[in-house]
């Protein structure tokens, strides 16, 4: 009987993902002109506090009513050229994908998430892909109006309050929030482990 070979180790996930994965208006979850739209933006920082210019972030969320049904249409294609043309600007899909720019900055325009399932604390799920990571990281963005409810969440309630704070977006002005992702260090964002 032949000896069992060890599994092939994971490989890092970048920085090549910025070539094909981003799509036109990938950060525009909210339909064009939606009066209830909010902007969430921030930077991705490495363990030394330097911006990560080649990260990719994916966002999933419920709509304001708590529905996760979304709508098709995120990766629409031009019927003539076959080129991906992105969103139609009319429907909320619940999904976004944005790369960071040269300064490590990213932004999405979305709708405030509703509770899913009913009674849960509303959040935006985030997956972070970046150079040097063997696997992508999962975290959440909670808007500040839900800060008091985080302690009641079965998972987040077990975290010390200062660590829970890394999951809260900071209000900058009306309907605009900042959420920085720190991959390591003293200000490291809480990342969730899904098994």
Q: Is the confidence at residue 74, as pLDDT, over 90? A: no
Whether 114 contacts 63, CB under 8 Å: yes
**CB neighbours of 1 closer than 8 A, spacing ≥ 6?**
none
Give the Cα separation of 116 and 123 in Å (integer): 9
Give me the long-range contacts of 138-142 (CB less than 8 A, separation at least 24).
138/191, 138/192, 138/193, 138/194, 139/167, 139/181, 139/189, 139/190, 139/191, 139/192, 140/167, 140/192, 141/40, 141/59, 141/167, 141/169, 141/179, 142/167, 142/168, 142/169
Task: Determine the pLDDT at residue 131.
Answer: 83
pLDDT category of residue 72 using cuts at 50, 70 and 90: low
Q: How far, rounded to the nearest angstrom, does the alpha carbon of residue 135 sit from its chain's CA centroid?
A: 15
Give the Cα separation of 14 and 57 in Å (integer): 12
Whether 92 contacts 71, CB under 8 Å: yes
Total-model pTM: 0.84
Task: Determine the pLDDT at residue 85.
Answer: 67
Task: Determine the pLDDT at residue 133.
Answer: 79
What pLDDT, in 10s, does the model give residues 109-152?
Answer: 999 999 999 989 999 999 999 887 778 899 999 999 998 898 88
According to DSSP, residue 111 is labeled E
What pLDDT, in 10s, does the model give residues 155-186?
Answer: 888 899 889 999 999 999 999 999 999 999 99
Q: In 34-174, which residue ranges form alpha helices assigned H by DSSP?
A: 161-164
């Amino acid at each position: 009987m032949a000896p069992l070979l060890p599994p092939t180790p994971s490989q890092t996930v970048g920085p090549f993902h910025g070539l094909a994965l981003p799509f036109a208006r990938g950060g525009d979850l909210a339909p064009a002109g939606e009066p209830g739209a909010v902007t969430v933006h921030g930077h991705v920082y490495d363990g030394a506090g330097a911006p990560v210019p080649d990260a990719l972030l994916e966002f999933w969320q419920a709509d304001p009513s708590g529905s996760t049904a979304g709508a098709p249409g995120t990766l629409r294609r031009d019927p003539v050229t076959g080129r991906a043309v992105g969103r139609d600007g009319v429907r909320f899909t619940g999904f976004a994908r944005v790369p960071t720019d040269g300064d490590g900055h990213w932004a999405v325009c979305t709708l405030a998430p509703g509770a899913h399932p009913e009674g849960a604390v509303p959040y935006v799920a985030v997956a972070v892909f970046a150079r040097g990571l063997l696997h992508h990281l999962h975290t959440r963005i909670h808007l500040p109006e839900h800060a008091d409810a985080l302690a009641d969440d079965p998972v987040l309630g077990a975290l010390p309050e200062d660590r829970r704070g890394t999951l809260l977006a900071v209000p900058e002005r009306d309907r605009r929030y900042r959420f920085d992702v720190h991959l390591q260090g003293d200000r490291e964002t809480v990342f969730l482990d899904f098994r």
